[in-house]
Each structure stands twice: as structure tokens, then as C-alpha cells.
Amino acid sequence: MSNGRSCVFHNRHHFILYLVMIISRSFAGALVCFSLMFAVSSPCHSACVDKRLPAMAIKDGVAIDKASGLVWRRCIVGTNWNSRKKQCDGEVKGLAQKEALAEARRAGPGWRVPSIQELKSIRLNTCKGPKIDTRTFPNIGASDLGEGMDIWSSTTAISADTFYYLNFSDGSLDFHSDGFNLGVLLVRKK
């Protein structure tokens, strides 16, 4: 599997509970998990496989992914890196898609809203806690504007006015209309 996630159902009851989870969640943008001989779609919570942290070189307010060469801003839009305190200061802004794109332009040359594939590259398949390295992205929890740690991507979903986002609380993918307010991380090429 490309996302490194593994689903294991220890008995029939786990599988039935999992089917109930699928029915109660959105199918759009769901992760694909394989279990025994069944292929099901949704985030997997029956078992997990911890993934190694992406190799990042941290330099003050940015983190450079050594594998991809992508440079990530460590702080959610609305906050800025404080080198003295070694933390993000300010207040996270929930932004609509157009506002997120405008913030990226204001951040300077090359900065942009990441694609869903780029966001997935920093997602961790951990058993507990946030699905992102909180040492690299220390204020990701502040992006929880009421529905989880949702971060916009620039990838369109089912129409030109819907975009995928990644929830770093549980690792799930979904999409929303472009006017909905979510958190934003910025990225650029090295």
C-alpha cells in the first residue's frame, strides 16, 4: 500500500464495528485499507503501523524534507516562528481557499498551499496522538478550529470549488467547499 497503513481485524466483531465506522463517515477522500480478503475504505483504527518520521532539517521557522527537497513553514498561517522562544507565536487564522492562496503569495516568492500528496508526505501513521511530527510543526494543534486539525490542500476534489484537506488529528482525508475556513501550512521548492 502506498500510504504505509495496515488494517488488521482480530475477529469478526472488529470487522463489523469497522463497517459501522465506514457507514457513519464520508466516503469522499477516504483512505484505502486492506484487511484479510476485504478491501474497505476509511481511516483505519483497528491496528496501525508506525511510520518513521520524515527526515527533516530544521532551520528556525522552516523544515526541509531531505527526501523531497520541499521547504515547509513550521507555523500555521497566522502565526510566526519566534527564534528566541523556539515556538510559533500569534493566532491561527481559519482561511477560505482564496484567502489561503493570497496568504501564500504574501509570504514571498515560491510559497504556496501544498497539494494533497505533499500533505500526505508529512502525515504519520501513528497509533496515538497527532498524525504529524509536533516537534517539526509545533503549533499544529492550534489548527483545530472545532472539527479537528484540518489543513487545506491546493488539490481540487469533485468540482472546481471543492478542495481536499487533511485532518492531522486522525490522518483522514476529506474535501470541503472553497469558502470553508481551515488551517493552512505553506510549502515551497528548495
The DSSP bridge pattern shows strands 150-156 and 162-167 to be antiparallel
Residue pLDDT, tens place only, 83-110: 999 999 999 989 999 999 999 999 999 9
Q: For residues 14-49, b (16+ Cβ closer than 10 Å) or e, as one string?
A: bbeebeeeeeeeeeebbbebebeeeebebbbebebe
**Does the residue 175 lie in any domain?**
yes
**Does the residue 16 lie in any domain?**
no
**Does the residue 100 lie in any domain?**
yes
CATH code, 89:
3.10.100.10
Task: Categorize the per-residue pLDDT at 129 as very low, low, confident or very high, splitting at 50, 70 and 90.
Answer: confident
**Does the residue 73 lie in any domain?**
yes
Judged against a pLDDT cut of 60, whether residue 127 lies above it is answered with yes
**Does the residue 22 lie in any domain?**
no
pTM, whole model, 2 decimals? 0.73
**Does the residue 93 lie in any domain?**
yes
**Does the residue 89 lie in any domain?**
yes
Expressed as residue numbers, the domain containing 168 is: 56-189
Residue 55: what pLDDT? 87
What does the alpha-carbon distance between residue 39 and residue 24 come to, in Å, rounded to a whole number? 17
Residue pLDDT, tens place only, 152-178: 999 999 999 999 999 999 999 999 999
Residue pLDDT, tens place only, 26-70: 333 333 333 222 322 334 443 565 555 668 999 999 999 999 999
Q: How many domains does the chain have?
A: 1
